[in-house]
Amino acid sequence: MGIPNYAVHLDNPAMQGFYEGLAAGELRISIDPESGNWLWYPPEVIPGRPDAVVGWKKASHAGAAYSFTTIIRSLLPGDHSAEVPFTVVLFEPDDAPGVRVPGVLVEADGVEPACGMRLEFVALPVGDHHIAGFRPAG
């Protein structure tokens, strides 16, 4: 299985917290600055409060796959044919139900991906940045 390599584009600096977390080996999720509740993905505008900025909080590194797909033909701009196949999972941290973090399934040779499979977060270095990776738990 391959690993996708595509540059991170952050139009909104408020989204940087996720990548600061990855660089520190943590899965950080955006929160509403008033209530402290998870607010993911970080919206461009917090509903009704355009001047507010999201905060960031470490989420559980243990969780489950909400869904998944194995990419056989990458549709990313540019030629990424050497990076396929790879499996993307939508990961739900145990302490953040309903929050779904897309990441790459790793260390899973011989494992059939499935909804509900238990996973553990790992920060994956790719080029000059990190991406979210998830490996089978246990």
Partner 1 sequence: MKVAITGVGETAFLRKGAQPLLHMVAEAGLKAIADAGLTPADIDGFIGNRNVPASDDVGYALGVKERLFSACTDVAGGAAPAGQALLLAEMAIRAGLAKHVLVFYGIQSTRPGGVYSYHAREPQKAAFEMPVGYFGQPAYFAAMANRYAHDHGLSEEELASVSITYRRWAELTPSAQRREPMDLEGYRRSPMISTPLRAADCCLTTDGAGAYIVSAVERARDMPHPVVEVAAVSMAMNNWPHGIVFTQKPNIYEVPGAESARRAYEQAQVSPDDIDLAQVYDGFSISAIVQTEMLGLCERGEGARFYHRGDAAPGGRKPVNTSGGHMSGGYVPGINLLIEGVRQLRGGEGARQVPNARLCAVAGLGGNSHSTTILARA
Residue from the set 59, 61, 68, 119 that interacts with partner 1 by CB under 8 A: 68
From 9, 51, 128, 138, residue interacting with partner 1 (rule: CB under 8 A): 9
User: Pick from 46, 64, 104, 123: which binds partner 1 (CB under 8 A)?
Assistant: 104
Backbone angles phi, psi at 33, to 5 degrees: -65, -20
> Are the beta carbons of 69 and 88 closer than 8 angstroms?
yes
What residues between 10 and 29 interact with partner 1 by CB under 8 A? 10-12, 15, 18
Contact between residue 105 and residue 89 where contact means Cβ atoms under 8 Å apart:
yes
Tokens found for residue 12:
């909104």
Spatial distance between the Cα atoms of 135 and 27, rounded to a whole number of angstroms: 14
**What's the min distance (Å) between Cβ of 102 and partner 1?**
5
Beta-bridge partners for 101: 91
Site residues for partner 1 per CB under 8 A: 4, 6-12, 15, 18, 40-44, 66-77, 80, 83, 86, 88, 90, 98-104, 114-116, 126, 129, 131-132
